[in-house]
């Protein structure tokens, strides 16, 4: 797409539910395949190019069950076709081993998957991680590497230089803050990550709590991309509770438009990361 500014088109990703929250947290938190498909369609209309997908078991608990993933992906595709990149999470949530996480990805073969460096490539597990990433690369599964700290960033760069990570143009997501009761994510939490990152890297950020929108706005202004949604925050920039995930996508789209960044489509994402 034509872009008169020097900043790339903004990739907006929605994280609609996460692994922990329930409808007690928000009645519009999507859980079922049908609910996820409805939210995906609403977020697409507001500018989302990707959906970060978590699925739940029959008791609405976090699961990496391949059948549950396939049901949700099929429902989303029925609603929006290929207009969204569907990214499966591999998050362990203290339940799954690295091998189980890797086995899920290779069995499911999703279009995209998010991968925590600290979970899948800890010290001493480089050979297994290298083989897994090699298989992902051969299957053309689009990775997004989750980095929770500047130390994770340094670890990622080391693995890339050692050819453990074979992807030429990997997408990174910088996580500001943690799941805690006193979450204090702040836009300035981005700075330590950027100080340790190669300028050529393509990155997005996500932040917990009421400053999610401020952090996303800062990332967009610096040429980064963003992930927002009920997984991390349910509040609008005004402090009011969002009606649904699509409201949070609309807010960041308006910021991108205000600073002259076009909004990336799913096809833009595919061309960037898979050629």
Q: How high is the pLDDT of residue 5?
A: 55
Distance separating alpha carbons of residues 202 and 273, to the nearest angstrom: 10
Q: Tell me what the pLDDT averaged over the chain comes to.
A: 94
DSSP 58: T
pLDDT in tens, 71-97: 999 999 999 999 999 999 999 999 999
Q: Assess whether pLDDT exceeds 60 at residue 181.
A: no
Q: Which residues contact 68 (CB under 8 A, 6 or more apart)?
A: 55, 56, 57
In the chain, where are the structural domains located? Answer: 12-274
Q: How far apart are CA 215 and CA 145, in angstroms?
A: 19
Question: CA dist 141 to 69, 107, 133, 273, Å?
Answer: 15, 12, 9, 10
Instruction: With beta carbons less than 8 A apart as the criterion, state whether 193 and 148 touch.
Output: no
pLDDT (tens digit per residue) in 182-203: 556 788 889 999 988 888 999 9
pLDDT of residue 177: 76
Note the pLDDT tens digit of each residue in 111-140: 999 999 999 999 999 999 999 999 999 999
- Of the candidates 268, 274, 228, 272, the residue with the CA atom closest to the CA atom of residue 17: 228
pTM of this structure: 0.95
CATH classification code of 12-274: 3.20.20.70
């Amino acid at each position: 797409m034509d872009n008169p500014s020097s900043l790339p088109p903004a990739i907006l990703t929605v994280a609609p539910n996460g692994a922990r929250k329930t409808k007690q947290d928000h009645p519009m938190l999507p859980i079922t395949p049908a609910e996820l498909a409805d939210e995906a369609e609403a977020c697409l209309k507001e500018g989302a190019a990707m959906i970060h997908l978590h699925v739940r078991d029959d008791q609405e608990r976090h699961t990496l069950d391949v059948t549950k993933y396939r049901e949700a992906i099929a429902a989303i595709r029925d609603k929006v076709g290929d207009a969204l990149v569907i990214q499966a999470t591999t998050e362990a949530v203290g339940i799954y081993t690295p091998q189980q996480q890797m086995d899920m990805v290779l069995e499911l073969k999703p279009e995209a998957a998010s991968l925590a460096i600290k979970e899948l490539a800890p010290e001493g597990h480089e050979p297994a991680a290298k083989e897994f990433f090699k298989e992902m690369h051969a299957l053309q599964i689009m990775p997004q590497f989750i980095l929770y700290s500047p130390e994770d960033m340094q670890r990622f760069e080391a693995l890339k230089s050692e050819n453990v990570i074979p992807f030429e143009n990997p997408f990174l997501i910088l996580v500001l803050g943690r799941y805690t009761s006193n979450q204090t994510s702040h836009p300035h939490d981005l700075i330590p990550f950027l100080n340790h990152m190669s300028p050529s890297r393509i990155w997005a950020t996500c932040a917990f709590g009421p400053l999610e929108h401020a952090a996303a706005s800062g990332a967009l202004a610096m040429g980064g991309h963003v992930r927002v949604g009920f997984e991390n925050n349910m509040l609008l920039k005004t402090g009011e509770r969002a009606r649904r995930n699509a409201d949070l996508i609309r807010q960041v789209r308006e910021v991108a438009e205000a600073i002259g960044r076009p909004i990336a489509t799913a096809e833009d994402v595919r061309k960037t990361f898979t050629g």
